[in-house]
Each structure stands twice: as C-alpha cells, then as structure tokens.
Amino acid sequence: MPSEWLHQYPNGHSEWLPYRPDEKVEKTGNVWRKPLESIGMGCHSTQAREMNRLVREKGITGVHYREKDGKCELTSRRGRAEELRRRGLCDLDGGYGDG
C-alpha cells in the first residue's frame, strides 16, 4: 500500500497527498482513528526529540513529533488544543471545542 497518492484536481493541478483523496478521516468523540499530520505545527527533524520531551514534561497526550521529518502527529483534540496553547499558536479554522 503506497504511503502517498497523486491527486489530480479538476483545474489540472496535481499534488502528492499522504492519504487517498476519497478517504475520510473518521472521528469518534475526542480521538481520531487515524492520526492527523501537521506540517505547520511541526519542527525541524533535529528538534523532534526535544519537542517530544517538552510535550511529555507538560503531560500533554496525543501529540508526537516524528524524528524522520519533524511533522507533528495528533491523535487527540484535547492534546492538539493544549499543544497549540503551549506554543502560542492558534487554529483559525478550529471550532469551539478546538481551543
């Protein structure tokens, strides 16, 4: 199973996506069944170990920085909101429950 799929948009533009374009991310309660990956919340790959240490120290769950590419993997809405708050970031597309 490929890790990336080439998606062709109607306007002719194409891009590689980490998920199948017709695949939906299912949510149940406060947890996603498939982790969300955020480049914007990510860090440089050399900083991932330090970021994971800081997340553990603050007791935030559901947040992990990958050492391979620095992307932030999110499995919990609460953890996502706590990490955004910890880093002084905000999600302008978030809803009321997203911090």
Provide mean pLDDT across the span 16-37: 64
Structurally, the chain folds into a number of domains equal to: 1
> Which domain does 40 fall in, by range?
27-89
Q: Do the domain assignments include residue 18? A: no
| pTM exceeding 0.85 | no
pLDDT at res. 27: 52
pLDDT at res. 10: 76
Q: Do the domain assignments include residue 42? A: yes
Per-residue pLDDT band for 92 (boundaries 50, 70, 90) equals: confident
pLDDT more than 90, % of the chain: 39
What's the per-residue H, E or C state across the chain? CCCCEEEECCCCCEEEECCCCCCCCCEECCEEEEEEEECCCCCCHHHHHHHHHHHHHCCCCCEEECCCCCCEEEEEHHHHHHHHHHHCCCCCCCCHHHC
